[in-house]
Structure 1
């Protein structure tokens, strides 16, 4: 799906293209966003205007290795893009990197950075929400690593958009009790009362 933004057009890479670029890396990575939800349920849910790849902040420079020769642009809050140089370590406030093959080309991959301490993933929104990095994601039958859906929905829960509600509805029937409990605990800690909690506990 092509998508236009104030920063140019998106023509998202396919999951198989992402695998081809990132599978050579030794650092962990996961397809995130709505596509992670689709990989969890094993079917198409909706259209997607981009593709997200999650890296741990400590491994940020492997994005440049995976997309050598491309342009990498850091998304500085509250909403601007700037070139990301090969020797720059992005600060904690920068969580997104937009990537494209060259000037004027559509954006193809968005890299998202998240925090970690030792062998634990730590939510950038609430350091009390954490889990072993080894449990942060899994791999689809066709070899695509993807973010655990309960972790993805935790981020989507802050201010759910219509597409986030679609994702929640799609994945809820396949959640295990453990996934439901983890998400209820994480949402409660970070956001307090939330309309998803009752459905997760139902």
Structure 2
């Protein structure tokens, strides 16, 4: 079961994580983005510590070095991609159906894509959770599609990335996964 209050309260964090996991821009590693991670009360302390460590490691070096690191890991390396459905569906027809459903989901909650990226691109999905208006919407259950895609995709990426598990981008994927898990409420089992 999804805790929609927590999911919504993390909106600034989702926006910041979207910037951090995407190709570095001039303001990616700004003091404002770091402060969002450092001060958001909804982030559990162990996740906050990991997120700040990732931020600090990724912020090191020149902008060119930052861009090169990202490109080497996600653009020039066939093992890792930020397209979350790829890990479970590769290039199957089913993947196309899920991408279409995600695009409709974004539009249904008032987020229109202004990117050329596919609907399962992790930074785009994080932006959806940052800017979507779903707190009091009767269609909240439909969000389970996007959450499931993130769950499966981050799991698949982390499984493949075991040899690079210390890379700060891979650690950032773990942070994202743990924050989404923090938005889930375990239903009490009935043992009568």
Q: TM-score, normalised by structure 2?
A: 0.25
Higher helix share goes to which structure? 2
Q: TM-score, normalised by structure 1?
A: 0.24
